[in-house]
Amino acid sequence: MYKYLISLIFYIFCSNPTFAQDARLAVASNFVNTAQVLVLKFSAQTPYKLSVSSASTGKLYAQIRQAAPFDVLLSADRQTPERLVIEGLALEQTLFDYARGRLVFVTQSSGTFAAEQVLRQTEFKKLAIANPDLAPYGLAAKQTLEALGLFAKVQARLVMGENIGQAAHFVFSGNAEAGLLPRAFAIETPEQKKLYQNSWLVPESLHQPIIQTAVLLKRGQNNAAAQAFLLYLQQPEAQGIIASHGYN
């Protein structure tokens, strides 16, 4: 019954042109490429126009608190949307988990060590991660290093990006020989695929689960486009796209 109601509401929103309006999505950096694909699919089926702004989850949170004109938040964690609900800036009944991310260690090392050994033996000069204070994937990276007893040893060699996209750029540009990055990045370009061939999927036991949660912000409570997109995000087509981009 629940799925039927979602489909019915989605159909009503999307088939009535009087509801057509624009919406702005605030999207965590790790998910921006996947979000762009979802927006294209959604826009092809509906009269709505969506725009996407991306940054670290922490930065998006600060912008929303400063009245940035966003209607929907696609966070890289669960805590930030829940905090916005408590602060009266988001609607609790619209909270739902849309993806579960995984962290991988990647290295450009051409030596004989497997990627896991490269990390455990710290066989790199620079290790790129996202800022743990701003980005959930950065926090997961820090927790992983702490769980392995490596954080103090490599702290001086860390190159921190403001968001996970910037951290990935450090690795893909060669400014860091290794990085702790989202598994989803592995499918985006041939260069990234090549790098991810020498990688280690970090066990989730080494860090808190990366549960990515969406929420309708207070500003979007009367925005039909925002509401319809959140409903679409829960449909099988959207969930299939998300899974194909490396998320559980």
The pLDDT value given to residue 215: 98
Tokens of 213: 């949660």
The pLDDT value given to residue 2: 40
Q: Can you give the pLDDT of all 248 residues of the chain as single tens digits?
A: 344 434 544 555 555 544 557 999 999 999 999 999 999 999 999 999 999 999 999 999 999 999 999 999 999 999 999 999 999 999 999 999 999 999 999 998 766 679 999 999 999 999 999 999 999 999 999 999 999 999 999 999 999 999 999 999 999 899 999 999 999 887 665 666 666 778 899 999 999 999 999 999 999 999 999 999 999 999 999 999 999 999 98
As a residue count, the chain comes to 248
Tokens of 152: 């103090």
Report how far residue 221's alpha carbon sits from residue 143's, in angstroms, rounded to the nearest whole number. 36
The pLDDT value given to residue 144: 98
Report how far residue 150's alpha carbon sits from residue 202's, in angstroms, rounded to the nearest whole number. 14
Report how far residue 221's alpha carbon sits from residue 128's, in angstroms, rounded to the nearest whole number. 38
Domains of the chain: 2-100+211-244 (3.40.190.10), 103-201 (3.40.190.10)
At a CB cut-off of 8 Å and minimum separation 6, what does 146 contact?
Answer: none
The pLDDT value given to residue 190: 63
Which residues is 51 bridged to in the sheet? 24
The pLDDT value given to residue 8: 44
Report how far residue 158's alpha carbon sits from residue 10's, in angstroms, rounded to the nearest whole number. 46
The pLDDT value given to residue 113: 75
Q: How far is CA 197 from CA 93, 116, 121, 166, in A?
A: 41, 12, 19, 21
